Structure 1
């Protein structure tokens, strides 16, 4: 239920099933027209899973910096 001040109430049985406790950090994201609310550690694990596909010898930071330098040199 969404309260008057925009607060979302998560039913007790859902909190128990997810192992949520008062003060837990949650991550909220929009997927299409749906809200996804997940535990912070689950969101972090998902991101780590995405990064696991990147070879260890590849530096995404170096690639980004190289792209930015090229754009700056081109006057963008």
Structure 2
């Protein structure tokens, strides 16, 4: 389904109510707006970006890699041996 969003004063975008409900977007939520490789715009919820980043990290490091491992392995590079 295609939706239309209106740009109002100050560059604010009004997202249709159906989409706000579907994606759980509430007043004050953070949305991430980015350029697509084809020159378009992408609008995602912060939670969507976090999930995508986690998926990409799992693909690179493996499903069992932890933040603690990352920190431990990189302390020397950061100049923090403690």
| TM > 0.5 fold call | yes
Matched with 1:8 is 13
Local SS of the residue matching 1:23: coil
Runs of 4+ in 1 over 2 A off after TM superposition: none
Give 3-state SS (helix, strand or coil) of 1:24's partner.
coil
Aligned to 2:44: 38
Look up the SS of the partner of 2:8 in the other structure.
coil
Identify unmatched segments of 5+ residues in structure 1: 66-76
Based on CA coordinates, which of the two structures has the bigger radius of gyration?
1
Using structure 1 for the length normalisation, give the TM-score. Answer: 0.66
CA–CA distance in 2 between the matches of 1:18 and 1:40?
Answer: 11
Report the aligned-residue RMSD. Answer: 2.1
Aligned to 1:22: 27
Structure 2 residues not aligned, in runs of 5+: 1-5, 78-82
Q: Normalised by the size of structure 2, how large is the TM-score? A: 0.62
